[in-house]
Structure 1
Amino acid sequence: MTAQRTFRTLSLISGTALAGTLLAPQALADDPEPRTLDRLWSFANVSVNYLDWSNGTERRTANNAAKSDFTYVELEGGVGFGWGEFYGFFDFENPTNDQFDESSGGKDNFRTAGKVTSHIYLGDTPFSLYAHIYDFRDYGFDGREQDQILGLGYRTTFDNGLWFKPFIGPARVQSDGYTGMNGYMAGWVAGYDFTAFDQGFSVTNWHEQTFDRASDYLEQNYVGGTAGSTGTNGAVGLWWHPADLITTGVQYRYSDNKLGAPNVYQNAMIYSVKLNFL
């Protein structure tokens, strides 16, 4: 497999379809209990982001799934009901470039990445049926990978306001190099809102740990060697909310044994400005 067929995107957004109520207004007025499709919360935004790989990452991957800094436009959204919640994003990486970028030798190709996740609540318990689909496409090299997770989730909010949503489940992958079961994935999303200097801030973390991955996948979907069976992927972000319409933030992006490079730690900073329209 050549370096051209690397999966070097961040797993970071796209709109998911936001369901609305199908009930007549008078029926809602007569019934104080929320109906099945009543939204409890929702959000949506569009953002411009710049991902800056560290010098060490660029050096370590120069001949091994080479990395290059890039800009991406992201659509992101989420919605919650009394019975479950959904989140999604879709990224357009190097949106002004051709599918194959000649000047960078393909490192700055036009690419897309998207993810949809869901928690379907299991009654009144904090547990949920968790589902997760992540899809990445590099159009210049006709590279693709889709990860599919179906397992169990958990949701909790601590007294200090910190929220934490872990999950675990078996993984399946569809790619141009390998299609089939691919071990397991465990991870979480977490966040904490706080105020400082009379301004609103948030800290967030998403983390994914893959393990017991299939040997055929590790041989076919990595550049310059076979990767280990365990992979790490995630980001920690600090967000500033100066107004309801605007969010800005910086994230530390980290990855090990992922993104097409075997047995290599990769890290980057991501700088973002979001326009919140819902």
Structure 2
Amino acid sequence: MKLHNNTIRGVHTALAAIFEEGQYADKVIERTLKSNPKWGARDRSFIAETTYEMVRWWRLINFLSPSKEPYDLFGTYWLMQGHSLPPWEEFAKINPDKIKEKYDKLEDPAKLESVPDWLFDLGKKELGDKWEAEIHSLNQEAQVVLRVNTLKITREQLKNRLAEDNIHTHIIKGYPDALILDERTNVFRHPAFKEGMFEVQDASSQLVAQALAVEPGMRVIDACAGAGGKSLHIAALMQNKGKVLSMDVEEWKLQQTKLRARRDGVSIIER
């Protein structure tokens, strides 16, 4: 795969916003892509996937990298993925053999799985021998899961509409509002998303609202609403009848809830 300076800089800009400013990765990537409309589909995919993977392996990358400079960090990650580096001046400080030697000698499982020591120790304490397999599984790339907004469309209708644009999905048992993408793609650009017909929401997160067994006309408090994913799901299950009070300590998150509710056709959420 050929590397380009502008896309590497895009990754660096996103990582700086995530780690230095404490912003959410998904929002950073969405904003980064919107601010660079001339990037093609391949560039957008590269930036999004690379940023997420570097976030996932950030501790290990920093341990193996010869410095904290952006190109050293990116180059270390790129070598970890099994690629070779082009003979650029920016990568001059990176010695692939030294990075491989350092990795081969590494025995600390927390660093190998790129998680904080406290988290690894807690997992080991709680799960015992099952923990290492669990944390290894958690480090695999997650599937993209959609939650159908049943206020506007049925799951089968959305499945068919996306298929018309070669976005193929499948249903999983036990998740009545979920569709899983067969292949990763930028669904945020699809008209169905802009029309509020679905949200991107992890399957397990979707079970939370289902477990409440809410009914139309109820008054429900979401005391840790964040950007509103569960509040929106609750409102849909209530058929947009009743009240949902969304609360969070961060006002900017609740502003996202307001914007998403407008797109989804939800009018019963109060902040």
Q: TM-score range by the shorter chain?
A: under 0.3
Q: TM-score scaled by structure 1?
A: 0.21
Q: TM-score scaled by structure 2?
A: 0.21
Higher percent of residues as strand? 1
Q: Which has the larger radius of gyration?
A: 2
Higher RCO, 1 vs 2 (CA within 8 Å, ≥6 residues apart):
1
